[in-house]
Chain A
């Protein structure tokens, strides 16, 4: 059961990392346009250069 000493902190750290990832995505406005985001994934051409995320 010594393996818990490694696994439990690891599991907690992973969960925490996931939460931080979510908070970052929320803050950077990735949930502002859910309809558009669904389609952006399948547009076949490269985004035009110089086009960045608006924020």
Chain B
């Protein structure tokens, strides 16, 4: 199966006759795996390099161009017990990586400059109280300027450019007070040095830049890690498509290699990997991943199909299209643009803090200057005092307060199976007081499963499962999966549209439509009880059974709903599926508020209505029809099985069969928000203590440096509590 993958899309020729391939490998989690894989693959002749990246579970391979077949690597890894798939870094990930690297470079420059300046500053601090000559002091100050001015000009650029663009948009963000502080500190220091004064603040300025860059880098690194992991997940899904390379010739290629206009073949039981329009064929299709509707629809030439559609009965030919003419997709993109605009207006906690902070600090500094002037101090001294106020209040701790907590909390979320997409997701998830669940694929598992196992003897299930292996129909596949069998029965014929039949132990054996097996009565019984189920019947000689196949609820759905209710969060189900199905789910889970047959527009309307009532909604959904609602809600989550669009829009993606990560996300986020607020308060307390000293004109560069690093360290330690409490 894996050997079928066409690798040519992923191979890169590098330099002199070498071929490079990146593989995402599932299951690498320790140094032992790393050593085992590298040692084993390096023994393959012609391989020049096999290097595992443990951080993002990837393997980079290089070998001499020639006879070596890349499929060999995948099968070697399979022998070692690892699943591997080729992958391609997407644009977003490449950009994140580039940004992280640029930040790290600036951080390095600032940190090295800070270290070297300290070497010059410490003698000055001690020399000032002992016997240092003024000429020596000036010399040291000039040397500091020589180091710090170019280093600051380079490394503080992210702050300057962000502050400028905020000012251009007539707003204020955190970077405005930071930039003002840095520029004023440097300018004063230069002027003081020219005037042979005792104090210069070069060390404080560059240290401030280094601390703030560390905060930015942490933030960026967290996002990069999530992107890399999401990229691996996409690769491990190994979406392939069967493409026509000639009028009659087909080839299996990775879905990423399909271009608009390509013609793709879809056989029964396959999930469509691209968007497109049917040009030939007729089939029942299961669109539940897209619309939430569990009953199959009919696809005929001209019908638009979307990635995620499951083909049930017939074979289809599809022309892939980038911008599908499908009305559903058009409508969804329009709704989406609108909702995303609204979301970008959300103000992050740090921004709200800086809006309050900047005017207060600048006013304090100005008043301090006026005060000293009125008191009779010289103009020069008053300005130096005012600038000391600005330097000591420069939001070092404030800049670290939020990113430090975010990094630690996202680590905790990562280990409970939640990947964050958006930087401010934690803040928004923490604020929610109501959860809206989609039903299909979110509360239920996306795969079909046998629901009436209790009625079927085990040996019957086994034989039915082995028979089902001969059919590609998804309902039969569910039976085979549940039976957990691997050996198909021999000599089985398929009757298209009816089922499969043959002989076993001398008696005829059949699996398929109830009428095909003469089990209509059994089927009707099941349908009376559970109108949502698909029935597949099985007969062996005279004994007849019927399997009710349906999407099962996630195993812990009821617990999670109860857990949310205990936290005081209201739960609601809003689904695109029909009423009886939604009502049944709501009853089982004990959810009192539910809506069925809801269109994407109505989902948004419901969220807007709740928002007007002051509710903050967490939308949890997976379908294409949920995408606008995910964007419109205050915060949103998607299971990892969701459509691409929903996953890209949701604030967080959760892994696995269980719903528990949703509950964990709310808990961890709430705690993280509490710590962020605490950190901001710590920064305020620090300022309240430090500002009077600065106003009194007592701040020397030594005090400024100690206060700044002290407050940053305290904030960092407080952030680390997000991890320890989670473990407890």
* Chain A interfacial positions (CB closer than 8 Å to B): 1, 4, 8, 11-12, 15, 18-19, 22-23, 26, 31-36, 39-40, 42-43, 45, 48, 50-54
The answer on a CB contact under 8 Å between A12 and B55 is no
The answer on a CB contact under 8 Å between B108 and A52 is no
Residue of B nearest to A32 (CB): B53
In the complex, chain B residues whose CB is within 8 Å of the CB of A36: 31, 34, 52-55
Tell me the smallest distance from the CB of B585 to a CB of chain A, in Å: 41
10 intermolecular pairs with C-beta atoms under 8 Å apart: A12-B147, A15-B115, A18-B112, A22-B112, A26-B108, A51-B50, A51-B51, A52-B48, A53-B49, A53-B51
- Give residues 40-70 of B contacting A (CB, 8 Å): 42-43, 47-56, 60, 62
In the complex, chain A residues whose CB is within 8 Å of the CB of B9: none
Given A1-B136, A12-B147, A54-B60, residue A39 in contact with residue B54 (CB < 8 A): yes
The answer on a CB contact under 8 Å between B48 and A19 is no
* Chain B interfacial positions (CB closer than 8 Å to A): 30-31, 34-35, 38-39, 42-43, 47-56, 60, 62, 101, 104-105, 108-109, 112, 115-116, 119, 136, 139, 143, 147
Contacts A15-B115, A48-B42, A51-B48 aside, 10 further interface pairs with beta carbons under 8 A come to: A4-B136, A15-B112, A31-B101, A36-B54, A43-B31, A43-B35, A45-B35, A48-B43, A50-B48, A54-B62
In the complex, chain B residues whose CB is within 8 Å of the CB of A11: 116, 119
In the complex, chain A residues whose CB is within 8 Å of the CB of B54: 33, 35-36, 39
Number of A-B residue pairs having CB atoms within 8 Å of each other in the complex: 75
The answer on a CB contact under 8 Å between B101 and A26 is yes
Residue from A40, A48, A50, A54 whose CB has the most chain B CB atoms within 10 Å: A54
Tell me the smallest distance from the CB of A29 to a CB of chain B, in Å: 9
Q: Across chains A and B, which 6 residue pairs bring their CB atoms closest together, nearest first?
A: A39-B31, A36-B54, A15-B116, A19-B112, A48-B42, A33-B53
Tell me the smallest distance from the CB of A10 to a CB of chain B, in Å: 11
In the complex, chain B residues whose CB is within 8 Å of the CB of A26: 101, 104-105, 108
A40-B52 Cα distance, complex, nearest whole Å:
11
In the complex, chain A residues whose CB is within 8 Å of the CB of B105: 23, 26
Residue of A nearest to B42 (CB): A48
In the complex, chain A residues whose CB is within 8 Å of the CB of B43: 48
In the complex, chain A residues whose CB is within 8 Å of the CB of B56: 33
In the complex, chain B residues whose CB is within 8 Å of the CB of A34: 55
Tell me the smallest distance from the CB of B165 to a CB of chain A, in Å: 27
In the complex, chain B residues whose CB is within 8 Å of the CB of A23: 105, 108
Tell me the smallest distance from the CB of A41 to a CB of chain B, in Å: 10
In the complex, chain A residues whose CB is within 8 Å of the CB of B116: 11-12, 15
Tell me the smallest distance from the CB of A47 to a CB of chain B, in Å: 8
Tell me the smallest distance from the CB of B143 to a CB of chain A, in Å: 7
The answer on a CB contact under 8 Å between A12 and B143 is yes
The answer on a CB contact under 8 Å between B119 and A50 is no
A32-B89 Cα distance, complex, nearest whole Å:
14
Residue of B nearest to A25 (CB): B108
Tell me the smallest distance from the CB of A12 to a CB of chain B, in Å: 7
In the complex, chain A residues whose CB is within 8 Å of the CB of B35: 43, 45
Given A11-B116, A48-B42, residue A32 in contact with residue B108 (CB < 8 A): no
A31-B54 Cα distance, complex, nearest whole Å:
12
The answer on a CB contact under 8 Å between B34 and A52 is no
Residue of B nearest to A37 (CB): B54
The answer on a CB contact under 8 Å between A19 and B147 is no
Tell me the smallest distance from the CB of A45 to a CB of chain B, in Å: 8
Residue of A nearest to B39 (CB): A48
A8-B108 Cα distance, complex, nearest whole Å:
22
A51-B38 Cα distance, complex, nearest whole Å:
9
A40-B35 Cα distance, complex, nearest whole Å:
8
